[in-house]
Structure 1
Amino acid sequence: MSRILIVRTSSLGDLVHMLPAISDIAANVPDAKIDWIVEESFAEIPAWHPAVDTVIKVAHRRWRKAWWSASVRKERRLLGERLRDVKYDVVLDMQALLKSAWLVRQTQGVRHGLDWRSAREPLASLFYDVRHRVEFWQPAVIRQRTLASLTFGYTFSGAPDFGLQRFSSSRAVHKLPEDDKDYAVIMPSASRPDKLWPDQDWRAVFKRLLDSGCGLRLLAGNAEEDRRARELIAQIPDAEVLPRLSLTDVAKVLAGARLMVGLDSGLTHLSAALGRPTIGIYRASTPVRTPLVGASYTASLGDRGESPSREVVLAAVEQALAA
């Protein structure tokens, strides 16, 4: 048995992009036993993949608020003891940040990661025993699959397998509660104002989806996003803002949707990975490195500083509806 530790703690979209690399490892490394260190708020994601044996939680986001408190020091000590207690054949840092290197240095095993030129934070490369060159401006899914293949010595091929088959039956059961109509999932909010798309353009998309027979389910991650979503659908029938759900429950809703339209967010990337027709609207980031990837129709529209027009998005909606 090959004991493997994957280090990738966040964020949601990046973790989704990791999943095909895990499928590749499982297919190419005989008897692989894969553990994965992940931020506690995203621990559901690696647990979805059937090849992941153990999910080890870290809490950087919570710890940094009180790094030197007695409780946080205890949690960090216990995590370090757990990491040092297991001898891994390979420890693979697929994040290449100093915060992930801090975890790697506490492990036992041959430590692999990106080299100085490839790492987002080059100093992280100093903590690895074996360093790999992976060109930075590649789509994230390809970049992660490449790093895994270089580490374990195989050549990957074929379409990415996200390992999300557990959600394949969700399409038949997650309908609007009042009837059996199709629904579209909408993600109109973001943490940064420069990612937002104009309200009047969203309403044009809503009208086309409603005309096609789709109800609308809007996602919101906090109180401000909830307020914005409710304003967008004010006086629009057959539309609702979903309450806060676990990531697993959100994945079930996405898997049951006819299509999704969302800003560039982790949930939009999750929709594509689940094989649903998905349209992503990019305004403050580029789709060159993080395009939507999935088995169904996807459209990654816009670019950093270049908002996609209403007409372009509506044209993509027509293709998604046909898909």
Structure 2
Amino acid sequence: MTKRVLLIKMSSLGDIVHTFPALTDAQKALPGIQFDWVVEAPFKDLPKLHPAVNQVIVNPRLAINKNRFSLTSLQLYQEFKQKIQSTHYDAVIENQYVNKGAKVAKLAKGIKHGLTANSAHDACIAKVFDHAHYVSRSLHAIDRSRKLLALSLGYDTAFKEHTTDLDNALDYGLDLSHIELDEHNQRWQQQTGEYLVFCQATTWATKHLPIKMWIELLEKAKQAGLPVLLPWVGDKEQAQVSAMIQQAQWGEILPAQSLEQWAKLLAGARGIIGVDTGLTHLAAALNKPTLCLFGPTNPNLTAAKGRRAKTLWLNLACSPCMQTHCPREGGQVCFSQMNVDEVWGELNARH
């Protein structure tokens, strides 16, 4: 009999990518297992990249929050609740570790699993679960998900046996064979392995690489004759990327893309340079030559992991500060002290 599991991991892009190896573990330990995965709308295409995912259930929380007391919001909530409760699951696993995930778990039918009060981000959620499991907060995000699913589904011994060498044992299990590039992007298929992607888009101000460094990296790519694609999010960043391209006289900015399209474009790239952002982690998951540049965040917890990925981080006295705004009077140094030649060399060393 097929085991049906509801997995609750709704955001962010990088966090969702970090969850994929746990599904692969579950497939190996419990052949035929199927997951229904609850995500927020911006990430609805991502879980479909893993063959263990049966269906994606979109949590309309973001749409509801825009107009909480409207009739439309009430209808969205009722439809979501009905969808969640249409299946009695063998296990419901809250893998978000916070209140918004626990609220979804509470709606679902099935034995509920999550973290203990002293290992979740929101301690109060532990009371929602039938089984609360302790998973150390000092583990990398990938290992936290792998450990939680192993404990929840009863194959903890198998988990221990398969994680002696994290980078080499990692199997994200992603399948992009069903994705076709749209007409705007099909020309890149003829250049597979001959272009780069620079992932500069991120949420925190402190995680942004200085524009000057991106321009210098674009110039390096120009000298090597390697086209560069640059993702963007929002009008402000689109304008910034366009200005960088104009100054370097190199690079290309594409129209807004779905995550499926970006996954396919990343899979065809020669290499990827990016900051600590979701697309960079997705590139690492696709086993592409990936260089992830860390500044204020902690690589011990969220470094890009993959057989051809490397995280570059300057272990300064002030880092990782985990601050969204740099508290230093002289400004951010965790990136400004990086050497562009070293960054470029490290990317080439990934091949």
TM-score of the pair, normalised by structure 1: 0.92
SS in 2 for 1:289: helix
Identical pairs, percent: 29
Q: Once the 2 structures are TM-superposed, how far is the Cα of residue 229 of structure 1 from its aligned partner?
A: 0.7
| More off after superposition, 222-231 vs 306-315 | 306-315
Unaligned runs of 5+ in 2: 164-168, 322-332
SS in 2 for 1:96: coil
Are residue 216 (structure 1) and residue 216 (structure 2) matched? no
Give the 5 Å matches for 1:6-45: 6-45=7-46
1:293 is aligned to: 305
2:282 is aligned to: 270
1:320 is aligned to: 347
1:92 is aligned to: 93
Unaligned runs of 5+ in 1: none
TM-score of the pair, normalised by structure 2: 0.85
Q: Does structure 2 retain, via aligned residues, the 8 Å contact 1:297–1:320?
A: no
Pair 1:274–1:167, CA change in 2 (3 A):
farther
Pair 1:100–1:178, CA change in 2 (3 A):
closer
SS in 2 for 1:165: coil
Measure, in 2, the Cα distance between the counterparts of 1:149 and 1:113. Answer: 12
Tell me which of 246, 249, 272 is aligned to 1:234: 246
Q: Once the 2 structures are TM-superposed, how far is the Cα of residue 112 of structure 1 from its aligned partner?
A: 0.4
1:136 is aligned to: 137
Q: Does structure 2 retain, via aligned residues, the 8 Å contact 1:264–1:280?
A: yes
Pair 1:273–1:178, CA change in 2 (3 A):
closer
| More off after superposition, 157-166 vs 135-144 | 157-166
The one-letter code matched in structure 2 to 1:150 is: L
Measure, in 2, the Cα distance between the counterparts of 1:221 and 1:128. Answer: 36
SS in 1 for 2:246: coil
1:304 is aligned to: 320
CA offset digits 1:16-44 (Å, max 9, x no partner)? 00111011111111331211111122111
1:111 is aligned to: 112
Q: Does structure 1 retain, via aligned residues, the 8 Å contact 2:287–2:307?
A: yes
SS in 1 for 2:18: helix
SS in 1 for 2:298: coil
| More off after superposition, 152-161 vs 256-265 | 152-161
Number of residues paired by the alignment? Answer: 322
Pair 1:10–1:26, CA change in 2 (3 A):
same
> How big is the alpha-carbon RMSD for the aligned residues of Structure 1 and Structure 2?
2.4
2:154 is aligned to: 153
Q: Does structure 2 retain, via aligned residues, the 8 Å contact 1:264–1:281?
A: yes
